[in-house]
Structure 1
């Protein structure tokens, strides 16, 4: 999800207004006497490579797929994975989760580092919010930008209509329960109780995010799919006969963001049980061809 409901468990907590009036008076007095501490970011996972000749990108992905450098199954992770590949950044993938992230969310990147060099310090993790600047800082080929006003309008389609339909399709549509469990539940634990709890939390977080985004008291699948179809139709129209969005000479971050959804929805390897959203994308041939162009450029062959 941009960042997916596995990120959403943290993100979807109600945003209470600040001030002591928001909690009971006895607790307020207690906290005034014993102020809460702000802890630093989490340490890197123990299995993080101690010596890295190339950058390391931590994403949602299976360990076998990480070793092969294949696309992440998470739209937020895949967006940045694709962007870095388009920018020519050399990096390795590590299978991870939000709890292992110093920022509490995936993806994040650790720049190259060699402990044998006494003049270098262990690099700080780079969160997704700062990954767009990373290729520029390293003097790697720059991915073209797009006009901000036009971009904001179409980014909104991705962040709301398409994302909401994605959340419903993967997390709430019962025919896709097996896929959801394979991607996000089974890797967590072998305990049936833990898996049941995680599944409930993921679905609850997805539902809450959809309702909040739509400002609706209930989830309406038909409205979600209709909204996604209108969004993909708008994207198809603005792409037109061009290779890349907004007529840029090379694919941009926005191209990577669109690809992150279209590739996963068209990927037969995910074995979608309910393909309504996938079929919507498949109806727009130029979006399918756009997906194939980026896949060839980044992974060297046609997508499945």
Structure 2
């Protein structure tokens, strides 16, 4: 009778081999009542800056991962999306994300000076990350949550469109109130003109830092490709850094934000205002090309 024969549980859930990123995805969808939640196709990009930032940083560091569309922040241990679910059943949230990536990325045996930021560049990169995550982030939040043209259509649809309409209204206004309170922690009032002036100055600073290495496209002759690659990322590096992940994420979300069309005559100005942030970015051809190059190289290749 002994030893007893042990049989496997009939419904054991297999562990995922890949790390799973739960994030708002895919990118902005046009002419859809609700976000694309399960089309059977791989999710590409995100309309949410933090989600796109995580995707980009994982790709930059060659982490093998899969994406699961998620629209409920409460499913995250931190109450905020995105988050990582690991094969051992543990989770990684925003506080430990970058450290986890650095510990788990593939080991590179040869790293040249052209690929790695030195101490001064790393300090500059951190300063520009803070600039983007304060000035540009505030302008993007204002565009999405306080410009009626976007709030009443694009924003509510993408963040809460999977709920019934009563909850869409309740949750979207509650989130806008939360964002308003967070803005007022660092400024006396929510001044649209000042917010966009600060964002424009920050975007111009990034354009100057990037330089003119992106003022041309990918259609140059092959003999020049090697020279172009030297300035493909910030500081002329041949490999991207966390600064590239952050800046690209803001640029891409801003540039792909749906254009407000079919507005009434008295709403034309509101429609124009909703596209102001994208127009500011498009004034800098190098930033526009930079964003396009990263998207094509890392997301569509």
TM-score of the two chains, using structure 2 as the length reference: 0.73
Q: 1:129 to 1:191 in 2, by over 3 A?
A: same
Higher gyration radius (CA): 2
CA distance in 2, matches of 1:282, 1:105: 31
1:298 and 2:298 are equivalent in the alignment: yes
What does residue 88 of structure 1 align with? 62
Distance 1:164 1:144, change over 3 A: same
Deviation digits for residues 148-192 of structure 1 (CA, Å, limit 9, x no counterpart): 3212321221121101101100001111120011111222x2142
CA contact (8 A) 1:76 1:107 kept: yes
Matching residue of 1:100: 75
Question: Which residue is equivalent to 1:150?
Answer: 124
> How is 1:15-164 mapped onto 2 (pairs within 5 angstroms)?
50-61=14-25, 62-64=36-38, 67-96=41-70, 97-111=72-86, 113=87, 122-140=88-106, 144-145=116-117, 147-164=121-138
Q: Which runs of 4+ in 1 moved over 4 A?
A: 141-146
The question of 1:236 aligning with 2:207 is answered yes
CA RMSD, Structure 1 to Structure 2 (Å): 2.1
TM-score, length of structure 1 as denominator length: 0.72
Partner residue of 1:255 out of 226, 244, 269: 244
Query: 1-side partners of 2:134 and 2:283: how far apart?
Result: 20
CA displacement at 1:145 relative to structure 2 = 4.7
TM-superposed CA distance for 1:65, in Å, is: 6.9
Secondary structure of the residue aligned to 1:212 is coil
- C-alpha displacement at 1:67, in angstroms? 4.1
- Number of matched residues? 239
Deviation larger for 52-61 or 137-146: 137-146
- Aligned residue in 1 for 2:6: none
Matches of 1:280 and 1:66, distance apart in 2: 36
Indicate if the aligned counterparts of 2:63 and 2:105 stay in contact, CA closer than 8 A: no
